[in-house]
Amino acid sequence: MADPFASPAVARRYADKVAFVTGAASGIGRATAVRLAAEGASTYLVDVNAEGVQE
């Protein structure tokens, strides 16, 4: 089965959008931040674990 998220339309669906992600150092917050960035969003990451966010 083809990956529905691999299409160019989905890959840039958040272009020109800004996302603030809290809890971005691990878990769901990290996965969300990675996905939004991959789909074109400018992301701002926040977490009490500053080292985790820098990774």
pLDDT tens digit string along 1-42?
556 566 666 678 899 999 999 999 999 999 999 999 999 999
Q: How far apart are CA 37 and CA 44, in angstroms?
A: 10
pTM: 0.77
How high is the pLDDT of residue 53?
86
Q: 34, 10 in Cβ contact below 8 A?
A: no
**pLDDT value of residue 55:** 79
What is the DSSP annotation of 1-55?
---TT-SHHHHTTTTT-EEEEESTTSHHHHHHHHHHHHTT-EEEEE-S-HHHHH-
* pLDDT at position 52: 87
CA 39/CA 45 separation, integer angstroms: 16
Q: Where are the domains of the chain?
A: 13-50
